[in-house]
Amino acid sequence: MSAPALASLVGLDLAAVERAIDELLAANLVRGGSSATGVVPIDPTLSMESRIVRAERAVAERLEALALVRAQIPALSEEFMRGRAPDHDLPGFEVVTGLDNIRTQVYLAGERVRHDIRATEHHMTPSPDFAHGRACQLALLDRGVRDRTIVSSDALAHPALRAEYLLMRDHGHQARTLPDITTRIIIYDRDLAIVPVDPTRLECGAIFIRVPSIIDAYILMYEYMWDAATPVFELDGAAGAPTGRVARVLELVAVGAKDEAIARSLDVGTRTIRRDVADLKSVLGVSSRTELATAALRRGWL
């Protein structure tokens, strides 16, 4: 019968019937013919057998691809475990070359860190690598890791870098500045120190040091530099007044609010508030919350 007659018989409008005929054609259940609707049916056994064969072929190809993936799992697992091997199973000195390899090992070291990161930067410019490093630092700060950087004064002259430091500061990162930083170093807890082979060309490689006595010496040097450095926190704004969340933390501390209440008010973690308060005490050279409020008032911060 014609398409209009078919539509009347099944109780659908003509457009719906025509769409159904198109779907039957696409499914290879009818084919073009000389009937009133322009199509004639195909034996469903033949049609479905053809579809099943195509489906089986696709499944076989997918299974083959999955088998190739499965064959790579042992090698991937071995590489993963080697990257996360305990430090006592790793060499005391290891030179890692290639920027990608260095970044991978630094990332894995960052995942292991539990307490402290100490770093110096002798020269910095905005780059995708710096943005990626910042994202990793923010994740560590959210885990409660204390993260400190000593940076050369000239780096702070770049507006983009200053903005990055302000963002990280609001998450608890601490930064100080010295007129000249001669080398780059990263120290993770007391377990690992990383220094570049050539401070001006990271692509030359990095030395991963896991010898406790040498790491202790680097830490002693770092703390000496940290004590001599000027907090970047004080350099921001007129008279070094805090801004953003830290300014609000200071206001709430001054009125006697507890860390837990401040954290709820600002929708951040309690550890973040404690870091902010500790930073404020360090900057103002005080040891108690009462002294903090008094010193802030003297400076005109409140």
Please name which of 230, 245, 216, 249 lies closest in space to residue 174, comparing C-alpha atoms: 230
For helices 244-254 and 259-266, give the axis angle rounded to 10 degrees.
Answer: 140
**Is 137 in contact with 147 (CB distance < 8 Å)?**
yes
Q: Which pair of structure tokens corresponds to residue 56?
A: 């089986």
Q: Per residue of the chain (302 residues), give pLDDT as tens.
A: 888 998 999 999 999 998 998 888 888 788 888 888 888 888 877 777 777 888 888 888 888 888 888 888 877 776 666 555 555 567 788 898 888 888 888 888 888 888 889 998 865 555 555 555 667 777 787 777 888 889 887 766 666 777 777 777 777 788 888 887 877 899 999 889 999 988 777 778 899 999 989 999 999 999 988 888 888 765 444 446 788 888 889 889 988 889 998 988 888 888 889 988 988 888 877 888 888 887 787 667 77
Domain ranges of the chain: 3-42, 88-236, 239-299
Query: Which CATH number among 1.10.10.10, 3.30.870.10, 3.40.50.720, 3.40.50.300 corresponds to the domain 88-236?
Result: 3.30.870.10
Q: Which pair of structure tokens corresponds to residue 196?
A: 């570049």
Coil vs helix vs strand at 34: coil
Please name which of 37, 20, 155 lies closest in space to residue 29, comparing C-alpha atoms: 20
The CATH number of domain 239-299 is 1.10.10.10: yes
> pLDDT (tens digit, 9 = 90+) per residue, 147-193?
888 988 776 666 677 777 777 777 778 888 888 787 789 999 988 99
Q: What number of other Cβ atoms are within 10 A of residue 81's Cβ? A: 9
Query: Which residue type occupies 150?
Result: I
Give me the residue label for tokens 């004639």. Answer: 40
